[in-house]
Amino acid sequence: MTAAQESALKSFLESLVGVRWFARCGEPDQAALVAHDLVAAWDDWNPEMMAVWSPQTHDLEQVAVRELGERALDSIFATVSKAVDAPLWEAADQYFERRPADSDVAETATDLGLSPDWLDSAKRDLCWAAVEAVLARPGFFSDLLEYYRAGRWPCAWEGGDRSQRVVLL
């Protein structure tokens, strides 16, 4: 990576300091559909998520490999993943602690079992947002940061169509 790209990555990581990851997950939101819990967000909305995320990821990866190369792309993913891993795990623990006292034990256990996949999904979004920052091409993943910074997890759009309401946890 060039010095400017390294600087962009550093600035991106600095912009994540203080984000209250997942702090509002499960809260009502008038502008969005809110999934009841992690299992509902993951299982019920997966086709719609894939319909939106897959083409975005594919297109950005092609550009990134061409302009940055595989080695730089791998470095960005490793750097961002390392930087956000502990804060995301801590935030996930806090999300589970906030669950209502009447939550079903089996439901909570299923949510907990999804944690590694959930956090990997969030990390991938953040890594791709970092790639957009390094390329100086804000796009889909940079847009997702709005939801993450608001303490949410964006998991889909109704009908797999970004012109419809976002689905949040």
What is the DSSP code string of 36-66?
Answer: SSHHIIIIITHHHHHHHHHHHHHHHHHHHHH
What is the rounded CA–CA span in Å between residue 35 and residue 27? 9
Percentage of the chain beyond pLDDT 90 is 84
Phi-psi region of 67 (alpha: psi -120 to 50; beta: other; left: phi over 0): alpha
- The structural domains of the chain, with segments of one domain joined by +, span 40-168
In this prediction the pTM is 0.94
Q: Average pLDDT of the chain?
A: 93
pLDDT at 125: 98
Choose between 160 and 98: higher pLDDT: 160
Q: Model confidence over 74-107: pLDDT tens digits?
A: 999 999 999 999 999 999 999 988 876 655 555 5
What is the rounded CA–CA span in Å between residue 82 and residue 137? 23
pLDDT at 53: 98
Query: 157 - beta bridge partners?
Result: 166
Task: Report the candidate in 42, 156, 26 with the shortest Cα–Cα distance to residue 110.
Answer: 42
Choose between 52 and 37: higher pLDDT: 52
Provide the pLDDT confidence category of residue 5 given band limits of 50, 70 and 90: very high
pLDDT at 158: 95
